[in-house]
Structure 1
Amino acid sequence: MTPPVLIVGAGPTGLTAACALRGLGVPCRIVDRRRGPGVAPKGLVLWSGALECLHRLGVARTLAAEALPLAGASYWSRGRRIGGVRFGGLRGTAFPGPLCVPQPVTEQALHTRLEELGGTVEWETEATDLTVHGAGDGAAVSVVLRSSGGTEEVTVPWLIGADGARSTVRESVGIPFDGHTFDRTFLIGDGVLSGAPDEAEVQHHIAPDGVLVIVPQPGGHRVFFDLESDGRSDPPSSALLQRLLDQRGPGGLRFHDAWWTSRFQVHAKVAPRFRAGPVLLAGDAVHAHTTAGGQGLNTGVQDGYDIGWKLAAVVRGQDPALLDSFEAERRPASVRAVRNGDQQIRLWLLRRPLARAARDTALRALSGAGLLESRVIPLLAQLDLDHSGSPAVADLAGAADAPRAVRTGRRAPDAALVPVHGPAALTLHAHLAEGRHTLLAYGGQAAGERAAHAAGVLHRRGADDAVTVLWIQPPGTAADPGRAIAAGARVAREPGHGALRGGCAGWLALVRPDGVLAARAGLTGLDALLDRLPRERALPAPARAGRS
């Protein structure tokens, strides 16, 4: 059997999508023209939103063990500190601050996880031609794959293009790449920085002739500079990096033993469309970010996770209209991330004295008032995106019975729980971290009956591997959990004052694998929620001898 999904590109975005698909019971084929996993440490920083996606896939803890937690960031102008933020203060997440981990480590962790899930990457396999056939639900895509073993043409119902900024897939379906390129050359050097502070703080030194950014990383530091464009593309020498470090830095720093240097241009681009029928585009194929804030890798990981779980649901019988939400949700998130990075670079590159003075004054004021930290860090973390306008979320009959904290299109709130039956999870987020669809039933015995019925329906469908049913009993409830437990539902009790208590009769909600509330309903709205869940069994994985 041919897998229903072909992924072109095995970087972080493609690997995330492949792991999400396989984890939810849908086999896929993933190819990449490279010889093996990436070795260039292009992306360094993982923020909370991407880390939660990686945690659902089972790799975040592995990455955390090899990462350097970043403590904060500071901004300097003419040798004086003009502002700063502290990391690690985000609430309601297991990852309250960013981690510095080189991109090859992230790719290797995802590749290992893919193999654990039964997948493999076909390296040195290039997609050279692509044709879309038909339209609507009957559309398919044919792809010519070229490798050392010859040429092969395959036709699949779905294709994910995660093949980078020069995406063959994007060009084949005629989607442009809108945006601009900065008229500056940017230099990066990874190596040892003697004389650097012990604290893992990102420093931004903004000089009249350019910027210096210092990023601590495991085993060393990254230094980042900009120069007037000179048309060169060769890697910069350590001598050049040291000269710029002396000119723009605080003094007393020596850069040596470099293991990677690069000279490149910076782009700020977002494609106008992320989909062409059965072809879905993700990661660098549809958005190019500046280096500010490390948003490119993070946005790509979240793209991959989003399209992975949605495509898995559709392949397993959910309404294909769910895929309309991919572009509706991910493009605004990408536009915001690209715009934020673009604005940061523009602030760094201000040259007029009055503009520089105004920038420095604003940074001092915002930092002193705590606004720089409270406003900028959540944007970079990409943790609580607003999907309330998405076509994939809805308030159903009785939704008003749910508490205000349970908001459709927003990240599910956390709450303390006491396990009654099922995993020993002590919070709602611990249940949601498994990366499955979760149907919540909150209330007394009537809610328990709904949970039992839902678990039975999902078991008969064969979809209970991808969906968790969780009955949450309010504080002081004396309801009998026996029937719900027998049907396969989890049961937990909310302690204390009952932060999730809503209407007196109880409420129902559907939480997506990404932790976002897909729908709310009263206790009579169960059938409408079940209609929004996979309807078919997991697909068998075809045997294929790929080159890993």
Structure 2
Amino acid sequence: MDTDVIICGAGAAGLTLAVDLARRHIRFLLIDKAAGPFAGSRGKGIQPRSQEVFEDLGVIDAIVASGGEYPVQRHYTEDGTTVDEPVVVRSEPTAAEPYRIPLLVPQFLTERRLRERLTELGHIPRYGRELTGFAQDADGVTAEIAGPGGEQTVRARYLIGADGGSSTVRKALGIGFPGRTLGVRAVVADVLAEGVTADAWHRWGDGTAAQVSLCPLYGTEMFQLQGPLPFDVEVDLSAAGLTALVRERTGRDDLAIHAVSWASAFEMNARLADTYRQGRVFLAGDAAHCHPPTGGQGLNTGVQDAYNLGWKLAGVLGGAPDALLDSYEAERRPIAEDVLGLSTRLLEAARNRDHRRGREVGQLDLGYPDSPLSLASPGHDKGVRPGDRAPDAPVTGAGGLPTRLFTLFRGPHWTLLGHGVDRASAPAPRTGLRVHTIGARGDILDPGSHVRDGYGLASGRWVLVRPDGYVAAVLDTAGLPAAEAFLDSVGVRPPL
């Protein structure tokens, strides 16, 4: 069997990559050694930047409908009173940032929505398929995959290890995974609970070894139970065992766990792979970086790894130089390093009873200013810079209907925006590039000046936006030949 890409691991990162490749009409095989989909809620936070990714992939509305905003945190004090406070510092959406509030969606529902989207695009994950070995050469990867029908040999151009913190792919490559354990062992479980309401995230014993919390899992009737555990102690994860733990830590006999859908006792780690690429094999998601759960960063960082890698794989498979794929590690590994530091700091804050989260967790400010894919933009010293996230903005089509920049960006293409330019100066048409001109005689109008102000554009300037929604260049018309040469280098060329 031959394909272009083998994706090992059908979690959030693997599914995101599969959806992105499917809409680009790239051949792939998505496998997972588990017998079926993951059943737990572990990564339940969907940050604003990931919401933008999911909008582009056509799944945001289904994911929003599957969960909700975080409830207030209800702290139970020793004297029996309660104190409510927000989990996140709330900020209202703006023209540039339409998603600013993290969502609470159980991981199994997020992944279900991604599988549904993948099915719409004509593909499904293959469960019960284990990667038992692989070898690579100059032209591709030969993988051995064991499944219900026996062992199969699959030849692919590339192999992606999105197979979790214990990644088979990473270990087979011998890639180091340095970091540290964080001295915290914890339990997380999805349970049916009696004695608590679904209007709050209930917390007892903050900052102590006896703390425990129950967070409603919107979209279900369950709660996520969390709490620290002592090391080297056997833990009873049954309903009776967790009931005993909750009653001991809260002092309340009216609380009871009636059923356990999924449970795990684990030790928190912060680790980062030495490299994200070895030849034709790449790492993504938890296979490349392992986070403590504080701040809801792990799943989101993995989703954005996949979103970064998908268009680059498609570009190289379509004829772009292989060097395009080198930018994956150059861009994503520094992000993971920063996010690991944030998650660890938030864990320490939680130990000091500070569970509040601000803008830093939303990932809207992360970008690639030092990327090899960021073009020099002389004369542009305000507004967005190459490597920045491209802001949204409400605009109006020349036909009179309102739309948004994100709607113009949606899809697998590059976008070139000209502000106050002559359409005749635009580059010749290219496959995979959409050109819009804003202003008089343009196909887009900016009546509220949101594009001009949000991007910091003077008249006569052009903005080149990558398929993953980051700015590649801000140029005047005289600089367009440099943008055209750059597009050639990433495989976006005029049709033959």
* Structures share fold, TM-score greater than 0.5: yes
Partner letter of residue 441 of structure 1?
Answer: G
> C-alpha distance in 1, partners of 2:297/2:324?
26
Distance in structure 2 (CA, Å) of the matches to 1:500 and 1:148 = 57
**Residue 131 in 1 paired to residue 109 in 2?**
no
**Match for 2:98: what amino acid?**
A
Secondary structure, counterpart of 2:228 in structure 1: strand
Q: Confirm or deny: 8 A CA contact 1:235 1:263 kept in the other structure.
A: no
Give yes or no for contact 2:419–2:457 (8 Å, CA) kept in 1. Answer: no
Query: Residue type of the partner of 1:443?
Result: G
Give the aligned partner of residue 398 of structure 2: 420
Task: Map residues 78-93 of structure 1 onto 2, 5 A cutoff.
Answer: 81=83, 84-89=86-91, 91=93, 92-93=96-97
**Which among 518, 524, 527 is matched to residue 481 of structure 2?**
527
CA distance in 1, matches of 2:135, 2:470: 34
Distance in 2 separating the partners of 1:516 and 1:471: 19
Q: When you count helix as a share of all residues, which structure comes out higher? A: 1
Provide the secondary structure at the position in 2 that maps to 1:262: strand
Normalising by structure 1, we get a TM-score of 0.80
Alpha-carbon distance in 2 for matches of 1:440, 1:205 = 54
Q: Secondary structure at the match of 1:414?
A: coil
The percentage of aligned residue pairs carrying the same residue is 32
- Report the alpha carbon displacement of residue 411 of structure 1 after superposing the two structures with TM: 1.0
Q: Which amino acid aligns with 1:140?
A: G
Q: Residues 394 and 408 of structure 1 are in contact (CA less than 8 Å); yes or no, is this contact kept in structure 2?
A: yes
In structure 2, the residue corresponding to 1:293 is in which secondary structure? Answer: coil
Which residue of 2 is the match for residue 328 of structure 1? 330
Question: In the alignment, what sits opposite 1:302?
Answer: 304
C-alpha distance in 2 between matches for 1:71 and 1:271: 35
Q: In structure 1, what is the equivalent of residue 385 of structure 2?
A: 407
> Residue 518 in 1 paired to residue 483 in 2?
no
Report 1:230-269 matches (<5 A): 230-232=232-234, 236-249=237-250, 254-258=255-259, 259-269=261-271
CA shift for structure 1 position 307: 0.9
Kindly provide the CA deviation profile for residues 500-529 of structure 1, in whole angstroms up to 9, marking residues without a partner as x. Answer: 176665111211122110122111222332
Is the contact between residue 14 and residue 162 of structure 2 (CA under 8 Å) also seen in structure 1?
yes
Per the normalisation by structure 2, the TM-score is 0.87
Q: Would the aligned equivalents of 1:69 and 1:97 in 2 still touch at CA under 8 Å? A: yes
3-state SS of the aligned residue for 1:180? strand
Match of 1:391 in 2: 372
Amino acid at match of 1:241: L
How many angstroms does 1:323 deviate by? 1.8
**1:495 corresponding residue in structure 2:** 447
Structure 1 portions without partners, runs of 5+: 350-358, 364-371, 482-490, 538-548
Q: Which runs of 5+ in 2 are unaligned?
A: none
The residue correspondences of 1:306-317 to structure 2 (distance < 5 A) are: 306-317=308-319
Aligned mate of 1:450, from 425, 450, 455: 425
Q: Deviations over 1:137-159 (max 9, x none)?
A: xx532222222323233332221
Report if aligned partners of 1:76, 1:83 keep a CA contact under 8 Å in 2.
no
Tell me what 2:110 maps to: 106
Distance verdict in 2 for CA 1:202–1:46, change over 3 Å? farther
2:345 to 330, 333, 343: 343
1:11, 1:107 within 8 Å by CA — same for their partners in 2?
yes
AA aligned to 1:288 is C
Local SS of the residue matching 1:417: strand
Alignment of 1:425-440 (within 5 A): 425-434=402-411, 436-440=413-417
The whole-number CA distance in structure 2 between the counterparts of 1:432 and 1:89 is 24
1:156 aligns with 2:156: yes
Q: How far did residue 187 of structure 1 move?
A: 1.3
The letter for the 2-side match of 1:495 is: P
User: Following TM superposition, by how much is the alpha carbon of 1:78 offset from its aligned partner in structure 2, in angstroms?
Assistant: 5.6
RMSD: 2.9
Q: Distance in 2 between matches of 1:435 and 1:90?
A: 29
Deviations 1:308-331, CA, capped at 9 Å, x for gaps: 122112222333322222112211
How far 1:26 sits from its partner (Å)? 2.1
